[in-house]
Amino acid sequence: MGKPRGAAKRVGMPRARPQGNFQLAKTCIVSIIDDDASVREAIEDLVSSLGMEACAFESAEDFLSSRRVDDTTCLITDEQMPGMKGHELQRHLRAHGKGMPIIFITAFPEKCGYERNEQAGVVALLEKPFDGGMLVSCLRDAVGTVEHRCARDG
C-alpha cells in the first residue's frame, strides 16, 4: 500500500507548479497533512495540477513547526493520525488566531469530531476513498471564501 512511512521526505516543500494559472499559484497555498504518504502525494499532485502551491506534511506537528502556518490559504488534513488529531490541530490553530478554511479527510467518519467543528471553518468532511472532483469542488469553495473575505476586509 504505497511507500513505507518516512520513505518520501519532502515534508513542507512545495512541488513545482504546472504551467498555467499563475495568479492562483501565487496566492493559494494549500497545506496537506496525512500520515499516509500515498494519500499525501496524490492530493499534492491534484492540488498542484490546479495551479496552486501544495505543501505536504506527515503530521500536524510537522505543519505547526513549519513556516507555512502563516501563509496557508486552505488546509487539508486527515482526522485520525498518530499524535495530534485533525480536530485538535483545528482547535490549536483557532486558539492562535489562524482562521484558514479546513477540509477534513478520514477513513473513520464515525470517529471524527466534524459535527462539533462544523461552525469553525470546516469546509467539508471527505470520507476516504473520495472522488478527486469532490476535493476540487471543496478547494474552490474554500479559496472563494478566502478571496471574498480578503476583498471585504481589504
**What's the pLDDT score for residue 7?**
29
Please state the length of the chain: 154
Check whether 151 has a pLDDT greater than 60.
no
Reported confidence tier of residue 112, pLDDT bands at 50, 70, 90 = low
Q: What is the rounded distance in angstroms from the CA atom of residue 37 to the CA atom of residue 56?
A: 9
Among 118-122, 135-139, 146-150, the minimum mean pLDDT is found in 146-150
Q: Which residue, 22, 33, 143, 20, is CA-closest to 87?
A: 33
- For the chain, the straight-line distance linking the first and the last C-alpha, in angstroms and rounded, comes to 46
Beta strand residue intervals within 1-154, DSSP E:
29-33, 53-57, 74-78, 102-106, 122-127
For residue 34, the model assigns a pLDDT of 97
Query: pLDDT per residue over 69-87, tens digit each?
Result: 999 999 999 999 999 999 8
- Give per-residue pLDDT as tens, 5-49: 332 223 333 333 333 343 344 478 999 999 999 999 999 999 999
Q: Give phi and psi for 126, each to the nearest 5.
A: -105, 130
In the predicted model, is pLDDT for residue 105 greater than 70?
Answer: yes
Determine contact, residues 50/73, Cβ cutoff 8 Å. Answer: no
- Per-residue pLDDT band for 111 (boundaries 50, 70, 90) equals low
Domain 22-153 listed as CATH 1.10.1200.10: no
| CA atoms within a 13 Å half-sphere pointing along the CA-CB vector of 136 | 10
Q: Is the pLDDT of residue 115 over 80?
A: no
